Amino acid sequence: MSDSAGVAAAVEALRAIGYYLERDRQPTHRVKAYRRAADTIEGLPAAEVRARRRAGTLTELPGIGPKTEAVILEAMDGATPAYLTKLEGSAGELTEAGTAMRAALQADLHLHSEWSDGGSPIEEMARTAHRLGHKYMALTDHSPRLTVANGLSRERRLQQLDVVAELNKKLSKELDGFTILNGIEVDILDDGSLDCDSEILARLDVVVASVHSKLRMASEPMTERMVKAIANPHVDVLGHCTGRLITGDRGTRPESDFDAEVVFEACRQFNTAVEINSRPERLDPPKRLLALAAEMDCVFSIDTDAHAPGQLDWQVYGCERAEGAEIAPERVINTWDRDELLEWTAS
């Protein structure tokens, strides 16, 4: 195996390990260790990696320890690293249901990159989405007010549009027409207005609107706040509507209080999709509200809200819940092909 091929195999193996650890919800520091090691050797000339391997000095590089070094050495020898083999062997199905709905999905419409609070480049998220069977995806990095999530300023948003345009030229050829749609997860402000100007929103393909602040607002003003956002002609999807957290490192958080019938009726009237958020710590909306939205003839978007490549596989959790609520695939907007979806969001 040539030096460059050996290094490429090592980078691929390290990233694959990171993917399986993310999928299994392992601690972030473990995932970052393998991704950091991949970044380190990917940024070096192959000849230097080879020389360090022979000299036994790989662990002198930043981010490479004994465990990641072992993966690199095995991959450079042309073998599948033992740790990757172990992870692949234990990576079974995440759920027992949801597979039919998952097979119908063509996209994920809510995910984040390292531009905001995600952990990976846009291209890596796109390549993973394609590998999982998607034909397109919506990149929905946060809006500026959410500084804790490194929300994009207007200038950075415009810059991202250019970056995505260039990536699409490349990926469309390499990934059988796969497309990254320009999107945003825009903060719903206290008065129901959106944390992004209309000119930018009009240029985006998919707008997910979510409440991230003052989640304990009283029911009446919260309802008015959400309905105003839903009625905004730029909004396509209402993200994680209750804001609840049911498990995970961030602890738990109760549901926001709002009149669900009024909110879902607004979604129906203004043709805004209710998101079925697949993150294990969210699983939002709760089953009783998901059933209500289904009864009220809403349309839905089943999304991962992924912040890393391995989390893109979590979509089946939302699919399982959609099937449980007897939601037909045609009522889920990301079962539609790209052109149909874009026609719907444009309208």
Residues 215-227 pLDDT 10s:
999 999 999 999 9
> Please, which pLDDT band fits residue 326 given cuts at 50, 70 and 90?
very high
Q: How confident is the model at residue 249, as a pLDDT?
A: 80
Work out the average pLDDT over 291-297: 98
68 CB-contact burial (10 Å; exposed 0-12 / middle 13-18 / buried 19+)? buried
pLDDT: which is higher, 29 or 130: 130
This prediction has a pTM of: 0.93
Residues 222-270 pLDDT 10s:
999 999 999 999 999 999 999 999 998 888 999 999 999 999 999 999 9
Q: How confident is the model at residue 157, as a pLDDT?
A: 97
Q: What percent of the chain stands above pLDDT 90? A: 93
Q: How confident is the model at residue 3, as a pLDDT?
A: 78
Q: How confident is the model at residue 70, as a pLDDT?
A: 96
* Short-list 114, 109, 104, 117, CA closest to 180: 109
Residues 173-211 pLDDT 10s:
999 999 999 999 999 999 999 999 999 999 999 999 999
pLDDT at 1 over 70: no
